């Protein structure tokens, strides 16, 4: 197995405004995110990984409009100016205005990017005749570390690690006709698919974004048994994910309206539909019913989320294992049809004898 190259580090910075997440604050809509251009230090960047991964992050997050909202690129410059202002400011109102709603930076660094090559000459059969097939395969892997950093204090609030992989191969009866560039592009394409599939859940894990409760889907004796939340097929959550249900309201304290949120129940993500996800209510069904009847804004906040470094949970069931099985088969000799038939005939005779013995007994 030949190692082609290692990319030592890529830095990606994402700006988040998390008024709707991480703490019980006033809900202001989807989390706002800005993606800065990645920085890359590589031995070999012929695959243009820098541009590809940035584009993948943008496309993955743009599709999650119910949970996140991309912010224009020049917003990053404003945040840098705001951080400098904060270093000199003691006035809390000035700090709030300088931050312009952005509270956290999502930093990412690709610490490893490996491309490994395998070549093999394998035996194939056409009828009873055998022939040689030349195969070239590539395995691409990356290691990406994410940190959610407080803009004002510089404290790391949350961390996440992704390890996307991809495989690709090509084969031909004539060695020189094997398209190794096609195999390499396929492997990188598969890694990008894995990366894109993991980004939405990773963002949800870090930000723990709220999603609005739309309405009750099932009710019994004035108790909500199931509710619809915004998201549906686009939701980056796994079935079975748990939610806290909170009510959002303003409380008059000392003559000022203060945004408050209060936990009133629990639910579990059960079924996906086109635009909504249905959750089974586990606790607080009576209160949830009463508050929705009054028109109170209810929000669902994911809890007890697990960190997954593999994309296997976010791709179609069996996709990753199927690709690995096909690659293993591509790099292995096919079974001789004559030997296979002889083995099957032998097994059939043994099975017949056992049946005869049982019948005779």
What percent of the chain is modeled with pLDDT above 90?
A: 32
Both 201 and 258 in one domain: the answer is no
Per-residue pLDDT reduced to its tens digit, 228-265: 998 777 677 788 989 999 988 777 887 888 777 889 99
**Least confident segment among 10-24, 119-133, 154-168:** 10-24
Q: What CATH number is associated with residue 188?
A: 3.40.50
Q: Which residue has the higher pLDDT, 159 or 258?
A: 159
Instruction: Write down the pTM of the prediction.
Output: 0.75
Per-residue pLDDT reduced to its tens digit, 98-146: 444 456 677 778 888 889 999 999 999 988 889 999 999 999 998 888 8
Both 160 and 264 in one domain: the answer is no
Both 233 and 318 in one domain: the answer is no
Q: How many CB atoms lie within 10 A of CB 257?
A: 11
The distance from CA 31 to its chain's CA centroid, rounded to whole angstroms, is 16
Both 82 and 117 in one domain: the answer is yes
| pLDDT exceeds cutoff 60 at 19 | no
321-324 own/partner pairs: CB under 8 Å, 24+ apart: 323/167, 323/190, 324/167
Q: Which residue has the higher pLDDT, 13 or 278?
A: 278
- 106 within 8 A of 147, measured Cβ to Cβ: yes
Both 185 and 224 in one domain: the answer is no
The confidence score (pLDDT) of residue 161 equals 92
Both 319 and 250 in one domain: the answer is no
Both 193 and 242 in one domain: the answer is no
Per-residue pLDDT reduced to its tens digit, 35-47: 555 555 544 555 6
The confidence score (pLDDT) of residue 358 equals 59
Domain that holds residue 250: 211-303
- Could you give phi then psi for residue 308, rounded to 5 degrees? -120, 120
Both 102 and 232 in one domain: the answer is no
Both 317 and 226 in one domain: the answer is no
């Amino acid at each position: 197995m030949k190692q082609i190259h290692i990319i030592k580090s890529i830095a990606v910075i994402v700006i988040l405004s998390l008024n709707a997440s991480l703490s019980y604050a006033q809900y202001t809509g989807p989390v706002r995110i800005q993606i800065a251009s990645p920085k890359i230090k590589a031995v070999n960047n012929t695959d243009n990984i820098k541009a590809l991964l940035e584009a993948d992050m943008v496309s993955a997050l743009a599709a999650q409009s119910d949970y996140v909202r991309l912010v224009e690129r020049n917003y990053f410059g404003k945040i840098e100016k705001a951080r400098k202002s904060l270093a000199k400011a003691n006035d809390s109102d000035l700090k709030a205005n300088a931050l312009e709603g952005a509270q956290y930076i999502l930093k990412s660094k690709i610490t490893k990017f490996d491309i490994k090559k395998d070549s093999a000459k394998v035996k194939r059969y056409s009828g009873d005749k055998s022939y040689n097939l030349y195969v070239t395969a590539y395995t691409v892997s990356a290691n990406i570390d994410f940190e959610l950093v407080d803009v004002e204090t510089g404290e790391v609030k949350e961390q996440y690690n992704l390890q996307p992989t991809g495989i690709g191969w090509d084969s031909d009866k004539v060695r020189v006709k094997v398209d190794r560039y096609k195999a390499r592009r396929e492997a990188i394409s598969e890694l990008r698919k894995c990366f894109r599939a993991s980004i939405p859940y990773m963002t949800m894990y870090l930000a723990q974004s709220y999603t609005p409760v739309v309405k009750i889907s099932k009710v019994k004796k004035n108790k909500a048994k199931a509710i619809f939340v915004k998201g549906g097929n686009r939701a980056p959550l796994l079935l079975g994910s748990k939610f806290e249900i909170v009510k959002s309201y303003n409380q008059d304290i000392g003559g000022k309206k203060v945004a408050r949120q209060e936990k009133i129940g629990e639910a579990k993500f059960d079924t996906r539909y086109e635009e909504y996800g249905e959750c089974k209510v586990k606790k607080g069904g009576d209160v949830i019913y009463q508050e929705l009847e009054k028109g109170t804004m209810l929000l669902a906040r994911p809890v007890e989320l697990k960190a997954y470094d593999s994309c296997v949970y976010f791709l179609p069931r069996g996709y990753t294992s199927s690709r690995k099985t096909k690659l293993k088969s591509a790099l292995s000799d096919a079974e001789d049809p004559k030997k296979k038939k002889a083995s099957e005939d032998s097994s059939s005779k043994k099975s017949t004898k056992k049946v005869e013995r049982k019948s005779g007994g």
